[in-house]
Amino acid sequence: MYFEEALYVLDIGQNDLTAGYFLNYIHQQIRDSIPQVLYEFQSHVLALHGQGAKRFMIITTGQLGCLPYILTSIPYTGADLDRYGCAKPYNSMARFFNKELRMTIAKLQQQMLNTTVVVVDGYKLKYNLFVDAARNGFEFTTRACCGYGGGNYNFDLGLGYCSSNPKREDMLHKNMTYNLCRDPWTYIIWDGSHYTEASNHRVARGLFSGHYSVSMFPSDHFCDLFT
């Protein structure tokens, strides 16, 4: 009974796309991998539905090109940066993925009767953190609050995330300790790929406001899910 009454929140795309980039795939290879990713996603959603799941919230992937672990680890040029400091080629790939994802969701809806599916525009929701950074109290956008390496982004993929321990030899040779900001509420990004509590709070508020749901899903669907 509880399985059928639960809300299943699914967020897909970021790790699936970046995994290819970190294997040195070119953009076309990433594009070519997307159908298989979405086929697997569709299979898992149908499996959940087959077990009785009736309520889904699917969040499209966010803007990859604004994350420090992308900006410090994958090639791009200065001309590729938008006015907010985000790498446009990787944001473009995220938008392409989301377009394909929405078509997959449309097919799922045809197969899953008596099911509520709310699609949230995760790209717009998260990218707006950067667009409206000052108005929302953020001073640092593409710089990680907690990380190794300092620099513009305070991130070094070779040393890892601030929550993990760099290789011992790196610590000995570079005498490195992680840099932790004093005012995390003014940062959007926590550790290179994850968000701070302050930005997560804003994302959550936007998520359940209904303002970022795809137009064919009115915001009162959110109310229906929890009644």
pLDDT in tens, 211-220: 898 644 444 5
Confidence (pLDDT) at 58 = 94
Give CA separation, 93 vs 96, 120, 157, 181, in Å.
Answer: 5, 18, 21, 31
Q: How many domains, the chain?
A: 1
State the chain's mean pLDDT as an integer: 87
Does some domain include residue 155?
Answer: no
Confidence (pLDDT) at 207 = 87
**What does 123-145 look like in DSSP terms, one character per residue?**
HHHHHHHHHTTTTTT-SEEEEES
Confidence (pLDDT) at 168 = 46
Tens of pLDDT, residue by residue over 193-207, are: 999 999 999 999 998
Does some domain include residue 180?
Answer: no
- What are 105's two structure tokens? 């969701």
Does some domain include residue 39?
Answer: yes
- Report, as an integer, the average pLDDT of 139-161: 87
Confidence (pLDDT) at 172 = 43
Tens of pLDDT, residue by residue over 66-80, are: 999 999 999 999 999
- What are 121's two structure tokens? 């525009």
Does some domain include residue 167?
Answer: no
Q: Give residue 56's identity as a one-letter amino acid code.
A: F
Does some domain include residue 213?
Answer: yes
Can you give the residue range of the structural domain that contains 67? 2-131+196-225
Token pair 């990004």 is found at: 189
Run of H or E including 38 = helix 27-50
| Cross-strand partners of 8 | 56
pLDDT band for position 176 (50/70/90)?
low
